[in-house]
């Protein structure tokens, strides 16, 4: 069961991260504005970095608005998410996000404004950072894909699974 | 290392098949949107190819390895989005479209050609 290798079934969730904005980022350019982007890294403390991705770059601002959404399959108790604010040449701050206190999204009553502002931290004594990173994070309800595909249960159509009795649903998760 | 071979057990991985065979398999499985497979690259022994069906067209995306602090990552968008192994890459693009025309939805499994 290679697909079960990383994490236990119970622990495995789909995390939705909306990178909303940077607020009051540090000035790095003499001209006063930077071209910031956010980089996100998913870590497993045992095996190290698993995935790394970044938002688009927003030109000439210290208050960038990205409004980009990403989905990750994560182990809630094991993984950590680190975010880094950068310009092409400069580090603007970082925030480490624990994954164990994030609410699960209710598909019927989405609350659009439940964001959180994370204080940006330096990574060494030389870093001069300020400002916040505004994120909205929720887990998708269990047994659902990403939201726009809620009706598309392609894996459930696997004939091998149709034969199972309902009490076996908590068995091994469907292979990827 | 494990990260460079772990995908070999996955139903969507077809190893050293030719581009033409990937096309035949996609056509046999109906060319539905999001039908995908991964295979070894024919031109670069360290690279892989994602073959993906979208709007009845079959597209190929090269997945290149890059090394950072001794760790190998795989990326199909020049390193902007990168993963330690192809299973994580596929999991991500099942949930996110990224630079692809659509998300990965249906693994194209082995069929007799």
Report yes or no for ipTM above 0.85.
Answer: yes
Nearest to A5 by CA among B12, B9, B36, B15: B9
Q: How far is CA A77 from CA A8, A95, A105, B20, in A?
A: 10, 18, 18, 44
Average pLDDT on A29-40 reads 85
Q: B29 at the A interface (CB within 8 A)?
A: no
**B3 — pLDDT class (breaks 50, 70, 90):** confident
The phi-psi region of residue B75 (left if phi > 0; otherwise alpha if psi is between -120 and 50; otherwise beta) is: beta
* A·B CB contacts under 8 A: 58
**A12 within 8 A of A47, measured Cβ to Cβ:** no
Q: B80 is written with which tokens?
A: 């902007």
The three state secondary structure string of chain A is: CHHHCCCCHHHEEEEEEEEEEEECCCCCCCCCCECCEEEEEEEECCCEEEEEEECCCCCCECCCEEEEEEEEEEECCCCEEEEEEECCCCEEEEEEEECCCCCECCCCCCCCCCCEEEECECCCCCCCCCCEEEEEEEECCCCCCCHHHCCCCHHHHCHHHHCCCHHHHHCCCCCC
Does the pLDDT value for residue A173 go beyond 50? no
Q: What pLDDT does A100 receive? A: 86
Please name the residues in contact with A14: beta carbons below 8 A apart, sequence gap of 6 or more: A71, A72, A73, A74, A139, A140, A144, A145, A146, B95
**B17 within 8 A of B113, measured Cβ to Cβ:** no
Tens of pLDDT, residues A36-95: 999 999 999 888 899 999 999 999 999 999 999 999 999 988 899 999 999 888 899 999
**A166 — pLDDT class (breaks 50, 70, 90):** very low
**A126 — pLDDT class (breaks 50, 70, 90):** confident
Q: Which of A37-41, A116-120, B68-72, B90-94 has the lowest mean pLDDT?
A: B68-72
Distance between CA atoms of residues A171 and A173, nearest Å:
6
Does the pLDDT value for residue B113 go beyond 90? no
Pairwise CB contact (< 8 Å): A50 & B88 = yes
Average pLDDT on B72-89 reads 95
Q: What pLDDT does A8 receive? A: 60
Q: B109 at the A interface (CB within 8 A)?
A: no
Mean pLDDT of chain B: 93
Tens of pLDDT, residues B15-61: 999 999 999 999 999 999 999 999 999 999 999 999 999 999 999 99
Q: What pLDDT does A111 receive? A: 64
Q: What pLDDT does A162 receive? A: 35
Q: B2 at the A interface (CB within 8 A)?
A: no
Pairwise CB contact (< 8 Å): B10 & A2 = yes
CB < 8 Å to A70, chain B: 96
**A144 — pLDDT class (breaks 50, 70, 90):** low
Q: What percent of chain A has pLDDT over 70?
A: 73
Q: B9 is written with which tokens?
A: 């057990």
Q: What pLDDT does B112 receive? A: 59
Q: Is B7 helix (H, G, I), strand (E, B) or coil?
A: helix
Average pLDDT on A102-122 reads 82
Q: A161 at the B interface (CB within 8 A)?
A: no
Q: What pLDDT does A113 receive? A: 59
Average pLDDT on A122-130 reads 88
CA dihedral B87, A80, A65, A104 (to 10 degrees): 90
Nearest-CA distance A52 → chain B (Å) = 5
Does the pLDDT value for residue A160 go beyond 90? no
Distance between CA atoms of residues B88 and A5, nearest Å:
12
Q: A154 at the B interface (CB within 8 A)?
A: yes
CB < 8 Å to A152, chain B: 105
**Which of B30, B69, B82 is the best substitution to test chain A (most A C-beta atoms within 10 A)?**
B82
């Amino acid at each position: 069961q290679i697909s079960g290798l990383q994490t236990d079934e119970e622990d495995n969730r789909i995390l939705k991260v909306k990178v909303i904005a940077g607020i009051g980022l540090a000035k790095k350019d003499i001209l006063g504005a930077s071209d910031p982007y956010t980089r996100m890294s998913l870590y497993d403390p045992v095996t190290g970095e698993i995935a790394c991705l970044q938002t688009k770059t927003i030109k000439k601002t210290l208050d960038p608005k990205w409004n980009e959404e990403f989905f990750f399959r994560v182990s809630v108790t094991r993984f950590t998410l680190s975010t880094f604010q950068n310009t092409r040449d400069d580090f603007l701050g970082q925030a480490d996000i624990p994954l164990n206190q994030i609410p699960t999204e209710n598909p019927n009553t989405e609350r659009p404004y439940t964001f959180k502002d994370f204080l940006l931290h330096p990574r060494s004594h030389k870093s001069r950072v300020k400002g916040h990173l505004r994120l909205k994070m929720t887990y998708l309800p269990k047994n659902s894909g990403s939201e726009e595909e809620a009706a598309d249960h392609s894996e459930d159509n696997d004939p091998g699974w149709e034969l199972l009795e309902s009490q076996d649903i908590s068995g091994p998760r469907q292979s990827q | 290392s494990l990260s460079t071979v772990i995908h070999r057990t996955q139903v969507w991985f077809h190893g050293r098949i030719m581009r033409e065979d990937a096309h035949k398999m996609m056509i046999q499985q109906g060319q539905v949107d999001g039908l995908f497979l991964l295979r070894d690259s024919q031109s670069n022994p360290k690279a892989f190819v994602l073959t993906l069906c979208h709007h009845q067209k079959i597209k190929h995306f090269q997945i290149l390895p890059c090394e950072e602090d001794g760790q190998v990552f795989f990326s199909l968008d020049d390193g902007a989005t990168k993963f330690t192994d192809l299973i994580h890459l596929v999991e991500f693009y099942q949930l996110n479209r990224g630079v692809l025309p659509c998300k990965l939805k249906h693994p194209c499994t082995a069929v007799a050609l």
